[in-house]
Amino acid sequence: MNFKMLYKSSSLKKPIMKYYNRKIGLFVLPFTIISLISLNCSAQISAIPLNTEPKAFAISYVKPTEFDNPQLIKGLEIIDSDNRRFIQLKGGSNYGLAEDYFVQPTGKYNVSVYYMADSLEKSEVKVMINRRLAGSVVFGSNKFAGSSSHKTFARINIEKWSRIDLEFNKKGSGKCRIEKVIFTPTGAFDGKLKSLSEPKSLKLYQTSDERLFGRAMLSDFVNSRIDSLMAKRVNLLSTLKTPTEWQENQNKTRSQLEKFFGKFPERTPLHPHITGKIIHDKYTVERLYFQSQPGYYVTANLYIPTNRKGPLPAVLLTSGHSSPGKAYSRYQTASIGLALKGYIVLAIDPMGQGERFEYLDPKSKEITIQGPVDEHYYLGRPSFLVNWTLSGLRVWDCIRAVDYLVSRREVDTSKIAAVGNSGGGQMALLITAVDTRIKVCAAGHPGGQMEKNYLPGQNLIDRQIFSLIAPRPVRVIVGEKSGEAAFHRKKIEDIQLFNEGLGFDKNRAQIVIVDGVHDLKYPKREKVYEWLNHWFDKEVEGATEPAIQTEEPEALWATKSGLTLTSLGGETGQTLNAKRLKEIYKPASNIIELKERIAKRIGLSLNEKKAQLKTHSSGTYYYGDLSVEKLTYHSEEGVEIPSLLITPKNVKAESPVYIYASDRGKPTQFEDMDVPFQLAKRGYIVLAIDVRGIGETSPTPSLPLTVKYSDCTPFQWFHDRLAIESPGFGRTMLAMRTYDVMRGIDFVKSQKEFEGKRVVVYGKGLGGLWALLASIYDSRVNGVVTDGTLASYKLLITNKYYKVPSAYFWVPGAVCDFDIPDLARLTLKQQIWINPISGLGENLSSFNAVSIIGSNKNIHIVTSGKTSDALNDLKLFN
């Protein structure tokens, strides 16, 4: 066994190398966002070869250039649409302007503008270089609205530090959607040079290489630690010599399943209920439901072959991300095809699909969150806070489905298989790994982001869990055109190692590549039949499939209305989470113990030796009576924090130094209304920082301006994945960013001119949590300001809906040990809470805020609505 090759195939390559491996110089707008791995949103997005031009969601690294993140000066917004990102005109705007500066070498470039023609009217976007027209896109020139197109302006002279403008001029109703702009070098500059000087900017990272460093920093930091864990696992496996040792490794993994998924519920009565039958000549379909947890209904169809001598082998069929769930035509066809070959098939609806949509308007009964992927994301996030996962919830449904199968006298309980595709393929692998009653598995295109989210991470945990399948037979079936083969082959190679280690033929685990894309069409079903027939001694049934007639989805409903909540009522994933919250929320009453438990829960180590505080100044600019020094400091190895030190001409005597940390990052341009400048104009010194993964160190140019908080967008997912992986090496993103703030305090205290000054940490949005935690674990903090910060994790769990950034959720099991008001209780320093928000992102009233956060002499709650007005209360720190 070549363990070094296994590690190379399993580890995630360093982002910075992938950036530099690109052979073409690309210059892209913020919508050609980078992504780390195949996204598998409902596993519909395929990998894109590195040497092709990146699309909106390119699965590759693109060397960033100055139009990565342009300033939207006027009339524009960023939107995500049709799996792409665009700049477009805001509603009501007829003119828009985006600008930035060219940081590539002086030369000739082809300038290609990619756009969507959303109107037949002749709106126009001009590309201006140093205010001279390089070319324009006229939208009405397309044949039809909604088409994608591009236009290239050839061999344009562009000097380094040139100003690049996009001017949007609207005629009619069009939005003027621009997807990306690519600059490709074509030769030497042959015009007259103006010797342009570097423009004043509050961005520290100006050149492509600097931006590349900032963009890759967090990804490198997280991935290197996951790589290290992967390498340790490979080294450990290389030491296993006997089948007993391999089995002991599996036993250790099995003992950790609740650490991965969360604690499984107790087995309770299923209370199955058959509501009807559909009788055909060769098979019968039973419509039924059972309770996987008390009051939590799972709808299903049981396909029973007729005129077959029992007991018969059985199949649990797990649906992919189709809205009809078990009733989707391809899953029906697979179920019928298996029944015709003599298998009993139990096809279940996953939560959020088929008859189990959980987010309904109580009056109209209409679905409020559209699509199964959206429902899975929406439920999966708050589940993390109660130490639970969507994968755990779905695995438990599958375990109870197997319980139902083995209760049927027609079933040969020694011959049960799991079959699924896409998100259902992932679940087929998971139920096979977790439940040893499953003897054979066939999984098509296994994926689904929330289905492979575990409390301590993703890919590494996937490998560990799937190792439990060995030595039982498993086949992964992949369409050649899906581009997923290499990704799935790694999983199979890992299982093959365990097969050999346990003394079995490694090919009991195999990957089969067939024609097609990401679906369960024939011939993929053929490979399912072939695999199950081989292992259950049914080759005589053959692998071909006759013409199959499916039912209308309504005919397969186990409920009258087609929705369990409408017909049966009962629990939802959200109400189960709320009940779990009541069971597990037990914060320590002892302050010392509470602090220790919080630090352990989030992974904030206070005993590690700090790295040397290296600092670097990039110059000072002046803005009225303010001086703004651009600088960086090293938080820890591989982590550099871009910062602005803003000093007023007349510093208030005895005033504190403010450390400002926002989930939107520090200012990137001089804006009077930005909080750091408002503070400085009041006479305070401000250190405004970009904690890791925020602002200039964001792994994507800018976060999506989310409207639907249930959306699965690759842009947000890139951030989420890094946060989900981090607990795998013992640190949450919350802890790492708190540490960055504490290192900012180290910087302030290292400056002689600030000697004796008090320190107040001002946290904006999610930054309020970093500020609270910094004040708890760093005695040098004298005061805290939270501005627009969530008042309680409970608001995300006990209420059906939420509208806050997903970064709030990735603290596995947070409420086992603390809620946000517990942080306020532990913070013995003066606190000002400015406009605390609800789970819907709305400002709380003063009464509601006090009732949630609490009230004592240290807590001062301001609900003025305007931050600028609330800043008057900062006199409390003077």
pLDDT, average across residues 781-799: 97
pLDDT in tens, 29-46: 333 322 222 223 333 222
pLDDT higher at 865 or 401: 401
What's the pLDDT score for residue 469? 98
The pLDDT, as a whole number, for residue 672 is: 82
pLDDT band at 620 (very low <50, low <70, confident <90, very high): very high
- Taking the model in full, what pTM does it have? 0.89
CA separation for the pair 268, 315 (Å, rounded): 23
Tens-place pLDDT, residues 806-828: 999 999 999 999 999 999 999 98
DSSP string across 676-730:
HHHHHHTT-EEEEE--TTSGGG-SSSS----SSTT---HHHHHHHHHHHHGGGGT
pLDDT at 180: 84
**pLDDT on residue 30:** 32
3-state secondary structure 741-753: HHHHHHHHHHCHH
Residue 69 confidence class, pLDDT cut points 50, 70, 90: low
Q: Yes or no: say if 609 and 594 are a contact pair by the CB < 8 Å rule.
A: no
pLDDT of residue 68: 52
Q: What pLDDT score does 652 carry?
A: 82
Does residue 52 surpass a pLDDT of 70? no
Confidence of residue 747 (pLDDT cuts 50, 70, 90): very high
Residues linked to residue 39 through DSSP beta bridges, in sequence order: none
* Contact predicate 449/425, CB 8 Å: no
Q: Residue 704 pLDDT more than 80?
A: no
Q: Which residues contact 148 (CB under 8 A, 6 or more apart)?
A: 114, 115, 116, 117, 179
Average pLDDT for residues 750-760, to the nearest whole number? 93
Return the CATH class of domain 3-216. Answer: mainly beta
Under 8 Å between Cβ of 501 and 3: no
What span, in angstroms and rounded, lies between the C-alpha atoms of 251 and 249?
A: 5
What's the confidence (pLDDT) of residue 146? Answer: 58
Kindly report the CA angle at 661 between 658 and 665, in degrees rounded to 5? 130
In this predicted structure, the answer to whether residue 89 has a pLDDT above a threshold of 70 is yes
Three-state SS letters, 183-196: EEEEECCCCCCCCC
Q: How far is Cα 66 from Cα 597, in angstroms, rounded to an integer?
A: 44
**Checking DSSP bridges between strand 177-187 and strand 283-293, what pairing results, if any?**
unpaired
Q: Mean per-residue pLDDT for 569-592?
A: 97
Say whether pLDDT at 738 is over 90.
yes
* Whether residue 371 has pLDDT greater than 80: yes
Q: Give the pLDDT of residue 44.
A: 29
Q: At what angle do helices 390-407 and 423-434 cross, to 10 degrees?
A: 70
Q: Which of 54-58, 345-349, 596-600, 848-852 has the lowest mean pLDDT?
A: 54-58
Residue 143 has a pLDDT of 52
- How do strand 639-648 and strand 344-348 relate by DSSP bridges? unpaired
**pLDDT > 70? residue 55:** no
Mean pLDDT for 42-71 is: 37
Q: What are phi and psi of 706, to 5 degrees?
A: -70, 135
- Work out the pLDDT band at 181, boundaries 50, 70, 90: confident
pLDDT tier at 429 (50, 70, 90 boundaries)? very high
Q: 416: which 2 tokens?
A: 């049960």
pLDDT average, residue stretch 331-341: 98
Where is 431: in which H helix or E strand?
A: helix 423-434
Q: Is the pLDDT of residue 633 over 90?
A: yes
Give dist(CA 269, CA 284) in Å, integer. Answer: 25
Q: Is residue 398 scored above 50 in pLDDT?
A: yes
Band (717; pLDDT cuts 50, 70, 90): confident
A 10 A CB-CB count for 321 gives: 29
Q: What are the backbone angles phi and psi of residue 274, rounded to the nearest 5°?
A: -90, 125
Contact present, 541 and 341 (Cβ < 8 Å):
yes
Check residue 739 and give its pLDDT. Answer: 97
Structure tokens given for 85:
């990102």
Closest to 726 in 3D by CA, of 455, 462, 466: 455
Q: What number is the average pLDDT over the span 740-759?
A: 94
Of the given ranges (75-84, 91-100, 446-455, 794-803), which has the lowest mean pLDDT?
75-84
Q: What is the pLDDT of residue 696?
A: 92
Q: How far is CA 860 from CA 62, 758, 833, in A?
A: 46, 19, 6
Q: Which of 97-101, 429-433, 712-716 has the highest mean pLDDT?
A: 429-433
* Nearest alpha carbon to residue 511 among 475, 486, 480: 475
- pLDDT at residue 787 greater than cutoff 80: yes
Spatial strand order of the sheet with 71-74 comes to 71-74, 95-101, 163-169, 124-129, 132-138
Q: Is the CB of residue 161 less than 8 Å from the CB of residue 198?
A: yes
Has residue 54 got a pLDDT over 70?
Answer: no
642, 690 in Cβ contact below 8 A?
yes
CA end-to-end distance (rounded Å), the chain: 67
Question: pLDDT at position 706, please?
Answer: 54
Q: How many CB atoms lie within 10 A of CB 281?
A: 7
Nearest to residue 831, comparing CAs of 797, 804, 855?
A: 855
Q: What is the structure's pLDDT at 512? A: 97
**More confident position, 411 or 115:** 411
Is-contact 388 574, C-beta < 8 A? Answer: no
Instruction: Report CA-CA distances (Å) from 568 to 152, 290, 355, 435.
Output: 59, 11, 11, 29
C-alpha distances (whole Å) from 703 to each of 63, 213, 506, 660 are 18, 18, 44, 20
Q: Where do the structural domains in the chain lie, given as residue ranges?
A: 3-216, 267-561, 591-600+609-691+760-877
For the chain, the average pLDDT equals 88
Most confident residue range from 6-15, 47-56, 749-758: 749-758
In whole angstroms, give the CA distance from residue 328 to residue 340: 18
Q: Burial code of 677-704, b = ≥16 C-beta within 10 A, e = fewer?
A: bbbbbbebbbbbbbbbbbbbbbbbbbbb
Question: Are 443 and 413 within 8 A, CB to CB?
Answer: no
Q: Do domains 3-216 and 591-600+609-691+760-877 have the same CATH topology?
A: no
* pLDDT, tens digit (0-9, with 9 covering 90-100), for 135-168: 999 887 555 555 678 899 999 999 999 999 999 9
pLDDT of 71 reads 81
Can you tell me the distance from the alpha carbon of 715 to that of 721, in angstroms, rounded to the nearest whole number?
10
Closest CA to 125 of 189, 76, 84: 76
Considering the four listed CATH numbers 3.90.1280.20, 3.30.413.10, 3.30.930.10, 3.40.50.1820, the one that applies to the domain covering 591-600+609-691+760-877 is: 3.40.50.1820
Structure tokens at 157: 């002279």
Q: How many Cβ atoms from other residues are within 10 Å of residue 636's Cβ?
A: 16
> For residues 209 and 257, which has the higher predicted lDDT (pLDDT)?
257
Name the CATH architecture for the domain at 267-561. Answer: 3-Layer(aba) Sandwich (3.40)
